[in-house]
């Protein structure tokens, strides 16, 4: 306390209330940004409530009420001292790289309404103390590494509307008591390791609109009451679930449900007893059970005879016989397989797949599945059931042979490597006709495991044709390499990213007219994606960024990776989103809804406008303020040395502000944006 009083006299601008919370904020910074890279504005000599602390907002009493640090690149553990911020109502730390456990002290923040810790690397169990937070409305813990079970204490969160726990490693059963939450609208438990039945009581939550339990190990019957949720109920990829009237599920049978049709949980070894069958006689309850099941008996030891060993001997002999039969059968199968492989090898060698383009087309004419059955790796063959919905014309136009891809890239030589990401590598290549291409290699482990969805996405990519989109030349999926290759036109002048943060006097400084042209071209490309004409449906890009805007020799912008998310696994998509959030492209409403819309792309486009106007990658609050007040020196690139149109700059600044409006309802459609840009004097 003496230290606080001393600081108060040294820095009279500090309010006593905010000063008392300063140590907790500095401890938070020390833990999450130990190298002082991202929270430089957090200093021990500033008032947190003066607006100097980035991401910190205070209430009328001068207390810290909101901390918004999403997508800042923070790492480290959340310190327990955050609990000293007693008036905190919103804590937004999502889309960072935080690790360690969720501190139990955090659950003592009784005023907290919104807690966003999603898309980090947090581990450990979910603190049971969350059940003691009476005002909590949104609990976002998804996309972490949390383990353990879902605390039953969450039933006490009477104001909770969103509970998002997907993509963790949670185990155990789904607490039926979550159905007692009267304000719950969204419950997402997908992509965990939950088991047991799906409690019918969940539907008793009167406001529930979305229930997602996909990709767990749940079992038993899905009650009919879940039909009331309509499309809001998602349950796929739980192999042991069954039910009537659910398209993705098989009708329940006795074997799929266990011994008691009214009990959805599967019986486990050791659970069988006479009490399990209360309405059965002794003979009826045992005649259908394997002899290894040891049922409890009511007889005394004196009256019961010792069990015979002959059944046990029979079991041993039976198992031995089956083993011998299995070995013999395996030898015959292997011999047959070798003969068949030799027959196939006499025509084509599947492991080599060295077929020329002409051979590919010839094979296609003879088979509904040309080359494809030879080109795909075992266990991942999207075309195994035919042409995947592609017409012969499309297949002949877009299908590349592995030999062509290898020849174009000189067997994927490092000399031709253009770049790498967490899920792909891109190589420069030259085709036989001399045209230069960029070949994106994606490992099958990064691709959508749903082959039907993968093929649908691939088909969609072939339909995209616009002057401001990078053209897809074709594709190939290799058996030997276990990769999918997307062959695009090569765009020579790199990405827009390399034209940002340029030092004065370099050749990379873009002229004003070029900047306006690039903005207009990007807008037209996105507007095309969002539109639906003929057989083309509307598409949301989801990853508009300076890195994905390529520049050709005439400085025409070309948007890359359009529709790519349709081919990728969910975890890869979210790793991309994490990077997008860190760069400021991710629309704020995504954290609440978990959904992309066309207005999400509009927000990212607005950030692109700001980047082109300022010539900088990072857009600060001062840039936005400069755009609002038309203070050109605050939002126009100094490298232009005043050579720009003030009227155009004013119009573009207003458009950027409108596109990046916090509320998606206030953002214009891309069609309106294109119309607005058409009025610029070029």
Distance between CA atoms of 443 and 423, rounded to whole angstroms? 7
Q: Residue 50: pLDDT above 80?
A: yes
CB 578 within 8 Å of CB 653? no
Q: Looking at the structure, do residues 656 and 602 belong to the same domain, yes or no? A: yes
- Give the burial string for 209-224 (b: 16+ CB within 10 Å, else e): ebbbbbbbebbbbbbe
Q: Looking at the structure, do residues 32 and 122 belong to the same domain, yes or no? A: yes
Side-chain-side CA neighbours of 103 within 13 Å: the count stands at: 16
Domains held by the chain: number: 3
Q: Looking at the structure, do residues 642 and 525 belong to the same domain, yes or no? A: yes
Q: What is the CATH number of the domain that holds 541?
A: 1.10.510.10
Q: Looking at the structure, do residues 564 and 450 belong to the same domain, yes or no? A: no
CB 128 within 8 Å of CB 154? no
Instruction: Report which of 513, 423, 431 is spatially closest to residue 473, judged by C-alpha positions.
Output: 431
Q: Which of 152-166, 235-249, 374-388, 398-412 has the lowest mean pLDDT?
A: 374-388
Q: Residue 514: pLDDT above 80?
A: yes
Q: Residue 594: pLDDT above 60?
A: yes
For the chain, first and last CA: distance in Å?
A: 64
Q: What is the CATH number of the domain that holds 407?
A: 3.30.200.20
Angle subtended at Cα 64 by Cα 618 and Cα 39, rounded to the nearest 5 degrees: 30
Q: How confident is the model at residue 45 (pLDDT cuts 50, 70, 90)?
A: confident
Q: Looking at the structure, do residues 122 and 140 belong to the same domain, yes or no? A: yes
Percent of the chain with pLDDT over 70: 76
Q: Residue 342: pLDDT above 50?
A: no
Would you report the helix, strand and coil content of the chain in percent, each value rounded to 5? Answer: 40, 15, 45
Q: Looking at the structure, do residues 159 and 55 belong to the same domain, yes or no? A: yes
CB 607 within 8 Å of CB 580? no
Q: For 543-592, what is each residue's pLDDT tens digit? A: 999 999 999 999 999 999 999 999 998 888 888 887 788 788 999 888 77
Mean pLDDT of 30-58: 89
Distance between CA atoms of 65 and 82, rounded to whole angstroms? 12
Instruction: Report which of 167, 123, 130 is spatially closest to residue 146, judged by C-alpha positions.
Output: 123
Q: Which helix (H) or strand (E) holds 402?
A: helix 402-408
Q: Which of 21-25, 445-449, 494-498 has the lowest mean pLDDT?
A: 445-449
Q: Looking at the structure, do residues 505 and 435 belong to the same domain, yes or no? A: no
Q: How confident is the model at residue 375 (pLDDT cuts 50, 70, 90)?
A: very low
Distance between CA atoms of 160 and 114, rounded to whole angstroms? 10
Q: Looking at the structure, do residues 99 and 237 belong to the same domain, yes or no? A: yes
User: Residue 569: which residues within 8 A CB-CB, separation 6 or more?
Assistant: 445, 446, 447, 448, 449
Phi, psi of 447, deg, nearest 5:
-90, 160
Q: Which of 11-15, 52-56, 421-425, 434-438 has the lowest mean pLDDT?
A: 11-15
Mean pLDDT of 225-254: 87
Q: Looking at the structure, do residues 456 and 505 belong to the same domain, yes or no? A: no
Mean pLDDT of 599-613: 96
Which residues are bridge partners to 125 per DSSP? 147
Mapping DSSP onto H, E and C, the string for 77-89 reads ECCHHHHHCCCCC
- Give the burial string for 14-45 (b: 16+ CB within 10 Å, else e): bbebbbbbbebbbebbebbbeeeebbeebeee
Please check whether residue 583 lies inside any domain of the structure: yes
Mean pLDDT of 1-29: 64
Q: Which two tokens stand for residue 249?
A: 């599920």
Residue 230: Cβ within 10 Å count: 8
Which residues are bridge partners to 362 per DSSP? none
Q: What is the CATH number of the domain that holds 154?
A: 3.80.10.10
Domain with 451, as residue range(s), is 397-490
Q: Looking at the structure, do residues 448 and 524 belong to the same domain, yes or no? A: no
User: Residue 74: which residues within 8 A CB-CB, separation 6 or more?
Assistant: 32, 33, 38, 39, 93, 96, 97, 98
SS3 category, 226 = helix
Q: Which two tokens stand for residue 443?
A: 């490992």
Of the residues 242, 273, 308, which one is the last residue of a structural domain? 242
Q: For 438-487, what is each residue's pLDDT tens digit? A: 999 998 888 888 878 888 888 889 889 999 999 999 988 876 677 889 99
Of the residues 242, 272, 305, which one is the last residue of a structural domain? 242
Mean pLDDT of 415-426: 88
Q: How confident is the model at residue 222 (pLDDT cuts 50, 70, 90)?
A: very high
Q: Which two tokens stand for residue 453?
A: 């969805």
Q: For 279-335, what is each residue's pLDDT tens digit? A: 333 333 333 333 333 333 343 344 344 444 444 555 455 555 655 555 555 554 544
CB 82 within 8 Å of CB 91? yes
Of the residues 202, 223, 242, which one is the last residue of a structural domain? 242
487-490-496-501 Cα dihedral, nearest 10 degrees? 110
Q: Which two tokens stand for residue 541?
A: 């890009």
User: Residue 293: which residues within 8 A CB-CB, separation 6 or more?
Assistant: 272, 286
Q: For 613-632, what is each residue's pLDDT tens digit? A: 999 999 998 999 999 999 99
pLDDT for the residue numbered 582: 79
Q: Looking at the structure, do residues 566 and 471 belong to the same domain, yes or no? A: no
Burial of 404 (0-12, 13-18, 19+ CB in 10 A): buried
pLDDT for the residue numbered 319: 52
Q: Looking at the structure, do residues 546 and 661 belong to the same domain, yes or no? A: yes
């Amino acid at each position: 306390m003496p230290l606080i009083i001393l600081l108060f006299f040294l820095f009279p601008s500090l309010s006593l209330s905010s000063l008392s919370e300063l140590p907790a904020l500095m401890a938070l910074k020390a833990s999450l940004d130990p190298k002082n890279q991202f929270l430089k504005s957090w200093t021990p000599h500033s008032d947190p409530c003066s607006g100097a602390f980035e991401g910190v907002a205070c209430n009328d009493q001068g207390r810290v009420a909101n901390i918004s640090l999403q997508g800042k690149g923070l790492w480290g553990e959340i310190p327990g001292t955050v609990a000293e911020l007693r008036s905190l109502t919103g804590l937004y730390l999502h889309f960072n790289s935080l690790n360690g456990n969720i501190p139990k002290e955090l659950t003592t923040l009784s005023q907290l309404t919104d807690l966003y810790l999603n898309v980090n690397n947090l581990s450990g169990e979910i603190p049971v103390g969350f059940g003691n937070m009476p005002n909590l409305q949104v609990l976002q813990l998804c996309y972490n590494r949390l383990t353990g079970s879902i605390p039953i204490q969450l039933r006490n969160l009477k104001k909770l509307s969103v509970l998002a726990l997907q993509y963790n490693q949670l185990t155990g059963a789904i607490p039926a008591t979550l159905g007692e939450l009267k304000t719950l609208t969204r419950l997402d438990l997908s992509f965990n390791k939950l088991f047991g039945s799906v409690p019918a009581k969940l539907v008793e939550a009167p406001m529930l609109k979305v229930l997602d339990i996909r990709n767990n190990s749940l079992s038993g019957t899905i009650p009919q009451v879940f039909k009331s949720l309509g499309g809001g109920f998602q349950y796929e990829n739980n192999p042991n679930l069954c039910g009537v009237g659910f398209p993705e599920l098989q009708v329940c049978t006795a074997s799929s449900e266990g011994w008691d049709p009214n009990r959805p949980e599967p019986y486990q070894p050791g659970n069988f007893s006479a009490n399990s069958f209360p309405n059965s006689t002794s003979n009826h309850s045992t005649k259908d059970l394997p002899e290894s099941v040891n049922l409890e008996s009511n007889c005394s030891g004196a009256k019961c005879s010792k069990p015979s060993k002959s059944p046990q001997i029979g079991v041993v002999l039976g198992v031995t016989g089956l083993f011998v039969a299995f070995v013999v059968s395996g030898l015959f199968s292997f011999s047959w397989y070798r003969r068949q492989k030799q027959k196939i090898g006499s025509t084509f060698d599947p492991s080599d797949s060295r077929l020329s383009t002409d051979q590919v087309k010839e094979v296609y004419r003879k088979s509904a599945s040309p080359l494809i059955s030879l080109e795909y790796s075992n266990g991942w063959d999207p075309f195994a059931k035919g042409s995947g919905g592609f017409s012969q014309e499309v297949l002949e136009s877009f299908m590349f042979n592995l030999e062509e891809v290898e020849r174009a890239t000189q067997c994927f030589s490092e000399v031709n490597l253009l770049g790498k990401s967490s899920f792909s590598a891109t190589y420069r290549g030259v085709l036989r006709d001399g045209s230069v291409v960029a070949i994106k290699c994606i490992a099958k482990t990064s691709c959508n495991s749903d082959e039907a969805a993968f093929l649908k996405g691939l088909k969609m990519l072939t339909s995209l044709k616009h002057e401001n989109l990078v053209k897809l030349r074709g594709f190939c999926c290799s058996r030997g390499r276990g990769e999918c290759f997307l062959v695009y036109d090569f765009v020579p002048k790199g990405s827009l990213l390399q034209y940002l943060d340029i030092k004065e006097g370099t050749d990379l400084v873009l002229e004003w007219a070029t900047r306006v042209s690039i903005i207009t071209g990007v807008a037209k490309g996105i507007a095309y994606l969002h539109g639906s004409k003929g057989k083309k449906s509307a598409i949301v890009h989801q990853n508009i960024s300076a890195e994905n805007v390529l520049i050709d020799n005439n400085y025409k912008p070309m948007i890359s990776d359009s529709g790519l998310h349709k081919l990728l696994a969910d975890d890869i998509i979210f790793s991309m989103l994490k990077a997008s959030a860190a760069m400021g492209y991710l629309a704020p409403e995504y954290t609440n809804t978990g959904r992309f819309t066309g207005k999400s792309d509009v927000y990212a486009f607005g950030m692109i406008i700001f980047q082109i106007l300022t010539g900088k990658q990072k857009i600060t609050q001062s840039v936005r303020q400069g755009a609002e007040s038309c203070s050109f020196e605050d939002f126009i690139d100094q490298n232009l040395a005043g050579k720009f149109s003030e009227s155009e700059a004013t119009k573009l600044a207003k458009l950027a502000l409108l596109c990046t409006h916090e509320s998606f309802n206030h953002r214009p459609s891309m069609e309106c944006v294109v119309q607005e840009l058409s009025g610029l004097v070029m």
